[in-house]
A and B are shown apart, each in its own frame.
Chain A
């Protein structure tokens, strides 16, 4: 979240933009830690969302595995991941700054009205906040998930005393984020209630644009990418306590929407296993 980044975002905001499109660099790299062994739930959601968004926008990029991507990150307010590198110096982290940067370089949402764009931007912030915080809460505050999923995963990423230190540091960091967003005193039910409210809003949005097929109209936009990233990560990450996935499974319409995105951009591979999970219920 550096100044240039925010300035470009600010420029983008000014009406009557239409700055000439910058060239998308040939060496665009998306850095993230190994997904299967290191990434935690919230980080995985964010990485998936960014990847989906870049695929949707048709921008070429190469995926890079960097174990220390979290520390390479120039900032961010939630997960600090993933990291998009454009050229040798410019780096952007997290979903919203990356989307803002892409919007500044490409007119990706030109088909929407100004009002619609604002609504989408605001919904993106809302969904990103609620789902990420819920994921953080589930991975760090829920003791079962923390003991059996989060803690061993963090510790496995580093050699011994460092793994322990990192675990404590990450837990402290997660608790601090929850405190800043005023989620620290919530129990699981309240978290699920907040998630429910957020998903209700998404379902309403989806219903409004039912005939066109996507959340904001006939073309996929960043909100679709974000929702898909979170839904797919939550549904496919095996936690000891799957309450979050269970609550999302009660919204079949949204799941169907995600499955459609999966079919279109990932060949249906990501959510292939989820079917059985739902059937077994």
Chain B
């Protein structure tokens, strides 16, 4: 079945060489690229236009499908089901394992990306703010924090708004490490978890681990643990480099993508557009600051000059008197 023309998946732009910074977006992108669904990806859209208040969303004509679950349903119907090449048993296991990974890593992901105050303030807030248009970028990243609050409360049983020493992050870390160990064992030396064909399970594992592995957070205990599992690192890097060759993005030009000049060109073009907007804002703020500084300096300068001129007056006056006295 042919995908309707003009279908477009809207996601957050990536960072650290990843195609997207957001788990849900990455998961949706995996569906798209694993199944080789010919659909355009838009990385600079307004999350508030999705209908659900956040990305990802799929637009076909005027219809919008927000969230992973709906996008998956649309792709299934359009003839791009992700688990199509698996046997029945594998299909069941794929769903079950995907659910199991979700249950065990979702709280870790949300706590360390959005719930941990230091991580959020130094890194995550900035990542989301940069990808949201101007007036909304102040408040919008906090909606992720609120969501994380719910996730952590339900799945880990503590309140993110409590004092930091009451956060039971240890439990999450222990659980997450356990999961990573098991995933590493399950993957072994295979290309995909079920051998030669991709599955939803691969998509969800990649989406969590790639972000947790690549993101530069001040506090991210799982990162080193993943580094210790070489087969998982290879798994992440292979998918990032091969499948998301065109979408991988990094604001710092360290990870070069030698092939796909057109894609990198558009990416850099977008970066240019972005930097242009940034320049405008910086220029505006700079101009206001400069004017303010100038005005202040002028004010002080004026005061200084008036004071010194009166001094001169006084001396002049005395001089006159002296002259009179001499006369």
Given contacts A125-B103, A179-B150, A182-B67, contact A204 B89 (CB under 8 A): yes
**Cβ contact within 8 Å between A77 and B154:** yes
Q: How far is the CA of A201 from the CA of B92 in the complex (A)?
A: 5
Instruction: Enumerate chain A residues within 8 angstroms of B156, measured Cβ to Cβ.
Output: 1, 77
B168–A3 contact, CB under 8 A? yes
CB-CB contacts of B102-113 with A at 8 A, as 1s and 0s? 011010000000
B157 touches A76 (CB 8 A): yes
Chain A nearest Cβ from B99, distance in angstroms: 4
Contact among A9, A10, A13, A201 with B96 in the assembled complex (CB-CB below 8 Å): A201
Residues of B within 8 A of A185 (CB): 67, 69
* In the complex, chain B residues whose CB is within 8 Å of the CB of A10: 174-175, 177-178
A122 and B96 form a contact (CB under 8 A): yes
CB under 8 Å from chain B, chain A span 118-132: 118-119, 121-123, 125-126, 129-130
| Shortest distance between the CB of A37 and any CB in chain B (Å) | 27
Give Cα distance in the complex from A197 to B170, angstroms: 34
Q: How far, in Å, is A13 (CB) from chain B's closest CB? A: 5
B95 & A201 in contact (Cβ 8 Å cutoff): yes
Q: How far is the CA of A3 from the CA of B175 in the complex (A)?
A: 10
Q: Is B174 a contact of A126 with CB atoms below 8 Å?
A: no
Q: Are B157 and A1 in contact (CB under 8 A)?
A: yes
User: What residues on A are CB-neighbors of B171 within 8 Å?
Assistant: 1-3, 6
Whether A13 touches B181, Cβ cut-off 8 Å, given contacts A125-B103, A182-B67, A201-B96, is yes
Report Cα–Cα, A197/B83, bound state, in Å: 13
Contact B178 A13 (CB under 8 A): yes
Interface centre among A7, A122, A176, A208 (most CB of B within 10 A): A122
The answer to whether A125 touches B99, judged by C-beta atoms less than 8 angstroms apart, is yes
Complex-state Cα separation, A201 to B86, whole angstroms: 14
Please tell me if A180 contacts chain B, counting CB pairs below 8 Å: yes
Q: With A and B bound together, what is the CA distance between A280 and B88 in angstroms?
A: 34
Min CB distance, A140 to chain B, in Å?
Answer: 14
Smallest beta-carbon distance B166→chain A, Å: 13
Cα of A126 to Cα of B89 in the assembled complex, Å: 15
A122 touches B100 (CB 8 A): yes
Task: Tell yes or no: A200 within 8 A of B by CB.
Answer: yes
Judge if A163 is at the interface, Cβ distance under 8 Å.
no
Q: Known: A76-B157, A179-B150, A200-B92. Contact between A125 and B174, CB under 8 A?
A: no
B158 to chain A, nearest CB (A): 9
Distance in Å: Cβ of B300 to nearest Cβ of chain A: 57
Contacts of B249 on A, CB cut-off 8 Å?
Answer: none
B67 cross-chain contacts in A, Cβ below 8 A: 182, 185
A75-B157, A77-B157, A204-B89 given; A126·B178 CB < 8 A:
no
A-B pairs with CB below 8 Å: how many? Answer: 76
Q: Considering only CB atoms, which chain B residue lies closest to A130 in the complex?
A: B99
Enumerate chain A residues within 8 angstroms of B95, measured Cβ to Cβ.
126, 197, 201
- A177 at the A/B interface (Cβ < 8 Å)? yes
Within 8 A of A (CB), among B167-215: 168, 170-171, 174-175, 177-178, 181-182, 186
- In this complex, the member of A3, A10, A126 whose beta carbon has the largest number of chain B beta carbons within 10 angstroms is A126
Q: Is B244 an interface residue (CB 8 A)?
A: no
Q: Which residues of A contact B97 (CB under 8 A)?
A: 122
> Given the complex of chains A and B, what is the CA–CA distance between A148 and B285 in angstroms?
61
Docked complex Cα distance between A129 and B102 (Å): 11
A6 & B174 in contact (Cβ 8 Å cutoff):
yes
Which residue of A is nearest B52, CB measured?
A185
CA distance A201 to B104 in the complex (A): 20
Per-position 1/0 for A1-25, Cβ under 8 A of B:
1110011011001000000000000
Can you list, as one digit per residue, whether each of A151-193 has a CB less than 8 Å from chain B (1) or not (0)? 0000000000000000000000000110110100100000000
Chain B contacts of A177 at CB under 8 A? Answer: 154
Q: How far is A185 from B53 in the complex, measured between Cα atoms in Å?
A: 14
Closest to B110 in A: A180
Q: Which residues of the other chain, A, contact B100 by a CB distance below 8 angstroms? A: 121-122, 125-126
Inter-subunit contact A129/B182 (CB<8 Å) = no
CA–CA, A185 to B89, complex, Å?
28
CB atoms of A7 and B174 under 8 A apart: yes
B155 touches A (CB below 8 Å): yes
Q: Which 7 A-B pairs have the closest CB atoms?
A: A201-B92, A126-B96, A75-B157, A122-B100, A126-B99, A180-B154, A125-B100
Q: List 5 A-B contacts (CB under 8 A).
A: A1-B171, A3-B171, A3-B174, A130-B99, A204-B88
Supply 16 further A-B pairs (C-beta < 8 A) apart from A77-B154, A118-B182, A119-B93.
Answer: A3-B171, A75-B157, A76-B157, A77-B103, A77-B155, A118-B186, A121-B100, A122-B93, A122-B97, A126-B96, A129-B99, A179-B150, A180-B150, A182-B69, A201-B93, A204-B92
